Amino acid sequence: MPRDMIDLTTSEEWRTLTALARSAPTMRAAFAADPDRARRFSCSAAGLFLDFSKNRITDEVLHALIALAARADLEGARAAIFAGAPINATEGRAVLHPALRDRTGAAWPVRGENVAPLIAAELAKMKGLCDAIGSGAATGYSGRPFETFVNIGIGGSDLGPQLAVEALRPCWIDGRRAAFVSNIDGQHLADALAGLDPATTLFIVASKTFTTEETMTNAASARAWLQERSARDADLARHFVAISANPRAARDFGVDAARVFRLWDWVGGRFSLWSAVGLAVALQTGFETFSRLLDGAHAMDEHFRNAPLAANAPALLALVGVWNRNFLGVGAHAVLPYDQHLARLPAYLQQAEMESNGKSRRRDGAPVTAKTAPVVFGEPGTNGQHAFFQLLHQGTDVVSADFIAAARSSIRLGDHHERLLANFLAQTEALMRGRTEEEARAAGGEARLAPHRACPGDRPTTSILMEELSPEALGALLALYEHKIFCQGVLWGINSFDQWGVELGKTLAATILGEIAPHGGARPPATRHDSSTNQLIDWINARREPKGEKR
């Protein structure tokens, strides 16, 4: 076992927390007993305000959680990540996405090399492309300016830029439209390309590896689409840019070397928004907006790096999550942005949290001895209220939730925003307080319905507020979660930066591909799998003969 590995579940602090969980007061009682509770369990960081007082914590719990973090040497791990240590040990890589948003000129070492100049050069190249497209110096084959930017990527090469483009809608440059194609389902690409003018379309192929099946298949089909629609072969290069840590593969695909943006092995795919993977954001909202996004994230990095754990927003968010997950048995966590422009945040955090911390092996390869990442899901408020909130209020499982909102909206439309905020606040209050049967009876209505109207309460929520959804606030919010994920990985003793679990399915798909009958064709009965998989292949293959073409 490496010297840094300790089993936290056998520690004194873990035992203390286990005991505290048995005696934790209800939140309703805790609020009634302490008028200062909200202030004491809140903190501010990089323009964000976090109120985690509506969790079942007490001073003793928080104290014990911070002691647990000390036992796990969270501060040492934090120093190691910022020092460029190869903390992604299974892949032998540093984890330095914070370097991507540091524009102070500070040095960032990776294997003895300062990578800050490489980052600055790539940013300058991004700005150069944005400027050239803005001025009309870079156009498509017809000489007309680009209007549509189709980002072809998946996972971290899709979710981050897609979320940011949507979130920063008020900053969009008129006449431009970014589109995102990720799924290998051909309908995704076909739908995105329908009605597009090839002469004014720029494809951004984003893939760290440049081997991902979905992205390579979509990129090849996009290239064919362009070739079929009058672009001469020599002009194709004008319509493609690439972002990759595998620049040779990008060039082999046909992207002009000058249009290949670099990514590095020390940037994890799900942490790559801050690199040239954010090009779609820069093109849709302007390079200045993208820079502000980086600044917001950098401000959170500085906070995380320097603040003591007791006042450290990402660390506290992580510790409260560990309390809920490991000591109160919460297995699912909802991400609930009360902001339509953050509609993709749950999907983004699903990858960030579940791909990072959905692990059952510790860093030393031994099985974990405590639960790791919960299931993450969510929807924007208030939509979720009319869908799954019933379970949050009265279900048999306790689900924790983050509620996220901005005090001001980008638009003034009647009292929509006041109503949105009222719902945000009411939900967290209701989840905390609940309603007893007596209260339900006292509220009137049929007495026999009182048990149905009662809500247990004591459902943990954390409220995260920002003044408005500015580029800086978005950057800070995403960096907050990135560091939270890192802290939880340290506490759980796992490597948050690899993703071996996704390999097996990819390998099997490559084998099965040869067993799927081509359109209109046939294949012999499947025999190489379990009876279910064989049966499903045969069922599909028997129906691959078209009954009547429908396209």
Part of the chain binding ligand F6P (CB under 6 A), chosen from 165-173, 206-214, 387-395, 439-447: 206-214
CB of 88 to ligand F6P, least distance (A): 12
Q: Which of residues 51 and 355 has its CB atom nearest to ligand F6P in the complex?
A: 355
User: What is the footprint of ligand F6P within residues 115-154 (CB under 6 A)?
Assistant: 154
Find residue 463's DSSP bridge partners: 51, 403
Establish whether 371 is a catalytic residue. Answer: no
CB of 459 to ligand F6P, least distance (A): 32
Q: Of 329, 308, 312, whose CA–CA distance to 24 is shortest?
A: 329
Establish whether 355 is a catalytic residue. Answer: yes
Q: Which of residues 222 and 336 has its CB atom nearest to ligand F6P in the complex?
A: 222
Q: Between 254 and 293, how does the x/- string for binding to ligand F6P read (CB under 6 A)?
A: ---------------xx-----------------------
47 touches ligand F6P by CB under 6 A: no
Part of the chain binding ligand F6P (CB under 6 A), chosen from 129-137, 155-163, 232-240, 395-403: 155-163
Would you say 298 and 98 are in contact if contact means Cβ atoms under 8 Å apart? yes
d(CA 68, CA 3): 18
Distances (CA, A) of 51 to 303, 308, 317, 326: 17, 17, 10, 21
d(CA 324, CA 326): 6
Helix, strand or coil for residue 170? helix
Give the CB-side neighbour count of residue 225, counting CA atoms within 13 A.
24
Would you say 397 and 312 are in contact if contact means Cβ atoms under 8 Å apart? no
Establish whether 506 is a catalytic residue. Answer: yes
Q: Which of residues 157 and 462 has its CB atom nearest to ligand F6P in the complex?
A: 157
Q: Which of residues 55 and 157 has its CB atom nearest to ligand F6P in the complex?
A: 157
97 touches ligand F6P by CB under 6 A: no
Spell out the SS3 assignment of 335-404.
EEECCHHHCCHHHHHHHHHHHHHCCCECCCCCECCCCCCCEEEECCCCHHHHCCHHHHHHCCCCEEEEEE
Near ligand F6P by CB under 6 A: residue from 204, 499, 526, 537: 499
Near ligand F6P by CB under 6 A: residue from 47, 156, 374, 380: 156
215 touches ligand F6P by CB under 6 A: yes
Alpha helical stretches, state H, 395-470 = 416-433, 437-442, 450-453
d(CA 272, CA 286): 18
Near ligand F6P by CB under 6 A: residue from 53, 148, 201, 212: 212
| Candidate list 386, 437, 438, 545, residue with the active-site label | 386
Other C-beta atoms closer than 10 Å to the C-beta of 386 total 10
| Candidate list 437, 438, 452, 506, residue with the active-site label | 506
| Candidate list 166, 355, 379, 472, residue with the active-site label | 355
Helix, strand or coil for residue 3? coil
Catalytic residues: 355, 386, 506
The residues of the shown chain that bind ligand F6P, judged by CB under 6 A, are 154-157, 207-209, 212, 215, 269-270, 355, 499, 502
